[in-house]
A and B are shown apart, each in its own frame.
Chain A
Amino acid sequence: MSPKGRVSLRGIRKEFGRFVALDDIDLDIEPVEFFALLGPSGSGKTTTLRLVAGLDTPDEGTLTVDGVDVTFAPPGERDVAMVFQNYALYPHMTVRDNIAFPLKMAKAPASSIDELVREAAAKVRIDHLLHRRPGQLSGGQQQRCALARAIVRKPKLFLLDEPLSNLDAQLRLETRVELKKLQRNLNVTAIYVTHDQEEAMTLADRMAIFLEGTIKQIGTPAEVFDHPNCVEVAAFIGSPPMNIIPAALNGRTLTIEGHSVALHRDPGHPPGPVIVGIRPGSLRIDPEGIPTQLYLQENMGETWLLNLKLGEMIVKMRVAHSERSAEGETVPISFAPGAIHLFDAETGLRVQVN
């Protein structure tokens, strides 16, 4: 049996009144993939997930699952399971009844229900809490109960809307790992909504970057991190994200704040203004480099983050403890020409440098 759960969105548009929440969304999700929808709050991730779940219908476009058009199919016909941000457990039912509910609705034989519930509960380690009500569970336990309810029916598609956002930091890290393992074991397509890029980077096989109702980039976490295809994505990915610095390009020569840097090769871009992106970790202290002023330094634990004044801009740079300096000092910086990203100043699109 070939794995199922291929999802395709074509030209999806969703409006709420006059507000366009999603515009021309195209997306292909492969079977058994862990796919993240990543973007800031309000960018349309939840709206997309609800369209896939069938809780809403798009104004334009089509949605297919395994080649079948389900654009307007009710949720029950889609064989999906969903974990809601607030879990949406049935408050009047015990954990056992919560987990058993999808089975009962699917008319599973009563004899098998108990076994399946126990199995699902054991997978998320809440089998000792089956008699409790949701109100008697901690946040993490409620989250596990919601997970168990979602996996018990062995759905074709597993939808998760910020499932970790209500957990405390420690629990979030632990659950993240378990979630990934769970999805691997279940062998099911998962669509995972999050605004937390670290979550998306660590969990996802591939991800789509949402900004203001459109998808800016689709790719593996490494692709998106290493080759952001536009300034908006570059300014969003990474913590902190890369420095965005206006510059001028003329052949191979890049001029930043009056200082020229030679690139390895000519990017073939017409002379004129460009935007340079440099990750804080790609900058280094170099006596020959561009002079900046240390404005503020932040302790990040393993490293320090220097906020440097370059002209009117603040540039962030990651350094080791030993490289700290006093505020107000002059810090000359440079970068390897291969470590920068170039974007067209007009369109914001990536210009290939290396």
Chain B
Amino acid sequence: MSSSRRKGGGIHAGERRFAFALTMPGLLVLFLTTTFPLLYLIWSSFQTINLAMPFLDGFAGVDNYVQMWGDARFWHAIRLTGIYTTTSVVLQVVIGLGLALLVMQIPAGQWVFRIVAILPIVLAPVVVGLFWRTVMLSPNFGLVDYLIQALGFEQVNWLGAPTPALISVIIIHTWQWTPFAFLVLLASLASLPVDVYEAARIDRANAFQRFWHITLPLLRPAIVIVVIIRSMIALSAFAAIFAATGGGPGTASEILNLYAFKTSFIELNFGYGSALAVSLLVITMVVSGVLFYLRTARHPGTKT
């Protein structure tokens, strides 16, 4: 028994070496395109690389991180990133679930909604940002302002005033990505077992109780997946905000990713920009780690 296993292990080891050789080219490309830039990013975050003041370049140790710790604009960007991510993900899930529940009530023609829902997703984020900036939100000419004034409210400078600008970029992101949540949750809803709902009706659960005790728990895996995917994307959102507000006015909609970009490519301070990017990377990893942990954790509603 043990000898035959050793023999089998020998063959197995040979196979493993061969398999490893086969995957080498792929691993190499993967290393060059992902791991290497990542390592380079981390390395440069410990350097002073400033194209505006090249005479200062050199190893900086943790100086960039120390500077970050005392940088009010950094903490402001973190706060905005948190607000932006949490609000837009919650809105996407809540609105997406609401729409999916509504569409499920329609006996025929659900495919129309599925197709309409795909449209915002397939648009390039820059196009989305510009579309909202011009057609929807521009003062006086934009659709939103037109509607608001027609209803007798005061004009709002949606992208030019600090709080409305943040609200606007959250709305834009939610508008573009709610369909994703909608589609995933609709597919998930459609796959729920019909007879379980009939059993619940016979057990005298009303519509709200059926939603609360049956639909939500059964949708939980799908909801968690949507939250994970959307949080990771929202944390590193860029193009639509850049096109709509550029992070402004001032820094009113400047989430961390924008701050890192501007520092590197507008202020040309690559060392500090890298440090900001690394901090975003760490935050994203921690958040997704926590979410994945919650996903695999036992259902809290079960007692034994």
A interface residues with partner B (beta carbon < 8 Å):
53-55, 74-76, 80-82, 84, 86, 88-94, 97, 101-102, 105-106, 131, 149, 153
Known: A88-B195, A90-B196, A94-B302. A102 touches B203 (CB 8 A): yes
21 A-B residue pairs with Cβ-Cβ distance under 8 Å, sorted by A, are: A53-B202, A55-B198, A55-B201, A76-B201, A81-B202, A84-B198, A88-B199, A90-B196, A90-B200, A90-B213, A91-B193, A92-B220, A92-B301, A94-B302, A101-B203, A101-B205, A101-B213, A105-B204, A105-B205, A106-B204, A149-B203
The interface residues of chain B, by DSSP majority, are classed as: helix
Which residue in chain A gives the minimum CB-CB distance to B221? A92
CB <8 Å contact, B302 and A76? no
Query: Counting CB contacts under 8 A, is B10 at the interface?
Result: no
Among A88, A105, A153, point to the contact of B193 (Cβ < 8 A): A88
CA distance A55 to B200 in the complex (A): 11
Nearest chain A CB to B211's CB is how many angstroms away?
Answer: 13
Sorted from nearest, which 4 A-B pairs have the closest CB atoms? A88-B195, A76-B204, A102-B203, A88-B199
Which residue in chain B gives the minimum CB-CB distance to A78? B202
Query: Counting CB contacts under 8 A, is B214 at the interface?
Result: yes
CA distance A92 to B213 in the complex (A): 9
CB <8 Å contact, B198 and A88? yes
Among B195, B204, B206, point to the contact of A102 (Cβ < 8 A): B204
Nearest chain A CB to B204's CB is how many angstroms away?
Answer: 4
Which residue in chain A gives the minimum CB-CB distance to B217? A92
B interface residues with partner A (beta carbon < 8 Å):
193, 195-196, 198-206, 209, 213-214, 217-218, 220, 299, 301-304
Q: Which residues of B contact A101 (CB under 8 A)?
A: 200, 203, 205, 213
Q: Which residues of B contact A53 (CB under 8 A)?
A: 202
Nearest chain B CB to A133's CB is how many angstroms away?
Answer: 8
Q: Which residues of B contact A54 (CB under 8 A)?
A: 201-202
Q: Which residues of A contact B205 (CB under 8 A)?
A: 76, 101, 105
Interface centre among A89, A92, A101, A131, by most chain B C-beta atoms within 10 angstroms, is A92
CA distance A153 to B209 in the complex (A): 18
Q: Which residues of A contact B301 (CB under 8 A)?
A: 92
CA distance A82 to B196 in the complex (A): 11
Which residue in chain B gives the minimum CB-CB distance to A83? B199
Known: A102-B203, A102-B204. A90 touches B198 (CB 8 A): no
Could you list 8 further interchain pairs (A-B, Cβ under 8 angstroms) beyond the known A55-B198, A84-B199, A90-B214? A82-B198, A88-B198, A92-B220, A92-B301, A93-B217, A102-B203, A102-B204, A149-B203
CB <8 Å contact, B209 and A105? yes
CA distance A353 to B217 in the complex (A): 64
Nearest chain A CB to B91's CB is how many angstroms away?
Answer: 26
Q: Which residues of A contact B209 (CB under 8 A)?
A: 105
CB <8 Å contact, B302 and A97? yes
CB <8 Å contact, A91 and B218? yes
CA distance A216 to B181 in the complex (A): 53
Q: Which residues of A contact B304 (CB under 8 A)?
A: 94, 131
CA distance A91 to B196 in the complex (A): 9
Which residue in chain B gives the minimum CB-CB distance to A79? B204
Q: Which residues of A contact B220 (CB under 8 A)?
A: 92
CA distance A105 to B196 in the complex (A): 15
Which residue in chain B gives the minimum CB-CB distance to A161? B195
Q: Which residues of B contact A89 (CB under 8 A)?
A: 196, 199
CA distance A88 to B217 in the complex (A): 16
Which residue in chain A gives the minimum CB-CB distance to B195? A88
Q: Which residues of B contact A91 (CB under 8 A)?
A: 193, 196, 218
Which residue in chain A gives the minimum CB-CB distance to B216? A92
Nearest chain A CB to B19's CB is how many angstroms away?
Answer: 35
Nearest chain A CB to B176's CB is how many angstroms away?
Answer: 32
CA distance A76 to B210 in the complex (A): 12
Which residue in chain B gives the minimum CB-CB distance to A94? B302
Q: Which residues of A contact B214 (CB under 8 A)?
A: 90
CA distance A149 to B195 in the complex (A): 15
Interface centre among B201, B206, B301, by most chain A C-beta atoms within 10 angstroms, is B201
Interface centre among A53, A74, A89, A101, by most chain B C-beta atoms within 10 angstroms, is A101
Q: Which residues of B contact A82 (CB under 8 A)?
A: 198-199, 202
CA distance A54 to B203 in the complex (A): 12
CA distance A105 to B206 in the complex (A): 8
Interface centre among B198, B203, B304, by most chain A C-beta atoms within 10 angstroms, is B203
CB <8 Å contact, A76 and B199? no
CA distance A81 to B204 in the complex (A): 10
Q: Which residues of A contact B198 (CB under 8 A)?
A: 55, 75, 82, 84, 88
